[in-house]
């Protein structure tokens, strides 16, 4: 069915740009690119998220606060601090709107080094533009929907960006397994993250926040990173940041860490992948 195909395509494209541009580039600077490509991906993120476009500046500031205060009362979105899903998301909405509109002053350390395009931000934040995109989705469904239940997908189109964030913030700190003993309750929800493009490797990401790759173990697949590797091979972006390490490197006493036979190398205990 064309409606289902368009919904899946919108989901995957939207979550890719949220992870690739807003998160890994805007909030963390996991890679660099020219001004031309920054504007290209800025515009692409707007078109992908359309009615639910998220301000890169506000997104970056909230995400940096999330890392600094993960799963505490100061975390803008934590199921540990806010065990009610809707209260957690309402808190996130208030923080986001406050930062975006200037009614909340963020900590200076969270400011700067994120992409800005004031003209596009103003256009994207216009209710006329947001409602226009919503109307286009409604018209599309009126033309191609083959069953009444399909109209229930429309709210997800309208709020795609916040829905992606809600899934990651809730599930990524509530359900799944842990590779690393971090100070927060971050978890890896899906070993093959087809749902949010690698964002649900939250335990890995909170351990190695500067790593552009969120997967750590051999069976974990970060789909956004696979695209990033292709873009780097084409010279569009330049990857940087730390390497994801599993298992975690443990410091050892000097006497134990030296090999017994100096002519033989110490055993390799850390698997690294980029």
Supply 24's token pair.
Answer: 């890994």
- Write the pLDDT tens digit of every residue in 190-232: 999 999 999 999 999 999 999 999 999 999 999 999 999 999 9
User: 141 and 150 in contact (C-beta within 8 Å)?
Assistant: yes
Instruction: Say what the pLDDT of residue 243 is.
Output: 86
Closest CA to 60 of 18, 110, 14, 17: 110
Residues of the chain with pLDDT under 70: 249-274
In whole angstroms, what is the distance from residue 156 CA to residue 223 CA? Answer: 22
pTM of structure? 0.88
Q: Give the three-class secondary structure for 208.
A: coil
Per-residue pLDDT tens for 126-153? 999 999 999 999 999 999 999 999 999 9
Domain boundary assignment for the chain: 2-249
The secondary structure of residue 6, as a DSSP letter, is: H
Structure confidence at residue 241 (pLDDT): 82
Give residues with Cβ within 8 angstroms of 206, minimum separation 6.
Answer: 67, 70, 180, 182, 184, 186
| Predicted pLDDT of residue 244 | 86
Q: Where are the alpha helices (DSSP H) in the chain?
A: 2-17, 35-49, 56-68, 85-101, 118-124, 127-144, 154-158, 160-171, 202-207, 223-233, 254-257
């Amino acid at each position: 069915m064309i409606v289902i195909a368009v919904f899946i395509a919108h989901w995957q494209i939207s979550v890719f740009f949220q992870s690739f541009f807003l998160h890994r580039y805007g909030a963390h600077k996991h890679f660099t690119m020219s001004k031309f490509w920054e504007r290209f991906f800025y515009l692409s993120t707007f078109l992908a998220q359309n009615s639910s476009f998220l301000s890169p500046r506000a997104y970056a500031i909230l995400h940096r606060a999330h890392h600094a205060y993960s799963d505490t009362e100061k975390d803008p979105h934590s199921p540990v601090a806010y065990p009610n899903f809707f209260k957690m998301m309402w808190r996130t909405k208030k923080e986001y709107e406050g930062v975006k509109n200037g009614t909340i002053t963020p900590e200076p350390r969270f400011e700067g080094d994120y992409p800005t395009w004031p003209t596009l931000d103003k256009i994207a934040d216009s209710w006329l533009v947001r409602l226009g995109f919503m109307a286009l989705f409604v018209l599309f469904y009126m033309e191609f929907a083959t069953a009444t239940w399909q109209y229930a997908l429309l709210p997800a189109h309208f709020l795609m960006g916040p829905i992606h964030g809600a899934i990651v913030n809730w599930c990524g700190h509530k359900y799944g397994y842990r590779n690393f003993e971090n100070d927060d309750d971050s978890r890896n929800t899906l070993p093959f993250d087809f749902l949010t493009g690698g964002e649900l490797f939250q335990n890995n990401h909170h351990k190695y926040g500067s790593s552009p790759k969120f997967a750590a173990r051999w069976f974990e697949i970060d789909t956004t990173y696979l695209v990033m590797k292709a873009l780097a091979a084409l010279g569009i972006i330049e990857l940087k940041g730390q390497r994801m390490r599993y298992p975690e490197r443990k410091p050892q006493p000097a006497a134990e860490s030296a090999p017994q036979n100096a002519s033989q190398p110490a055993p390799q205990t850390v698997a690294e992948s980029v």
